[in-house]
A = this chain, B = another copy of it.
């Protein structure tokens, strides 16, 4: 028998909460809503998490784990500055568009004030990611010998904006589909930031 045939209940709660938070917002979703969606009583839900904030924090932390596994670690295994940057753009977009990783969009949008300690941990991880992207860009600029009138910092913010804004308008059935989106965004950014 498979060791993990039954999901960790905490993870199942997080998955459900992520879905509801994405659909109705954090404040628009009550703990009752979460419990009901899991066919649980509110008391039963509080057996697994001791506060709504704890759920939100774990959601955001999990989102950062996903980003680390599916983007950063994959890119680290590559060589060639431009190839690494190109891959980062593709993978990051894929994560944002991924139906299954709703935690990402929750984290992108929700700015509900977490307890300061937790907030700091998330912000630090976000900042690390931006620095990683910034370094990638600097490497790619160096490799191409570009006349750096565009700072890696500004370029990194521009790239994060382009990609993280996608969820605001993207529709899977729309005219601008995934692979096409990746191609065009990559073209725009490469020509724009590595000139």
A117 to chain B, nearest CB (A): 19
How many chain copies does the complex carry? Answer: 2
Question: Is A100's CB within 8 Å of the partner chain B?
Answer: no
In whole angstroms, how far apart are the Cα atoms of A2 and B192 in the complex?
50
Residues 143 to 191 of chain A near chain B (Cβ within 8 Å): 149-151, 153-155, 157-158, 160-166, 168-169, 175-176, 180-181, 184-185, 187-191
Could you tell me if B151 and A157 are in contact, using CB atoms closer than 8 angstroms? Answer: no
Given A161-B164, A164-B165, are A155 and B188 neighbors across the interface (CB < 8 Å)?
A: yes
Question: Is A27's CB within 8 Å of the partner chain B?
Answer: yes
Interface residues on A, range: 35 or more
Could you tell me if A150 and B187 are in contact, using CB atoms closer than 8 angstroms? Answer: yes
- Interface SS, A side: helix
In whole angstroms, how far apart are the Cα atoms of A158 and B163 in the complex?
8
Map CB proximity to B onto A25-65 as digits: 1 under 8 Å, 0 otherwise.
10110000000000000000000000000000000000000
In whole angstroms, how far apart are the Cα atoms of A175 and B151 in the complex?
11
Question: Is A111's CB within 8 Å of the partner chain B?
Answer: yes
A to B CB contacts below 8 Å, 8 in the list: A153-B175, A154-B176, A154-B181, A154-B185, A161-B163, A165-B165, A188-B189, A192-B192
**Interface pairs A-B: 4 shortest CB-CB:** A192-B192, A161-B165, A27-B27, A188-B192
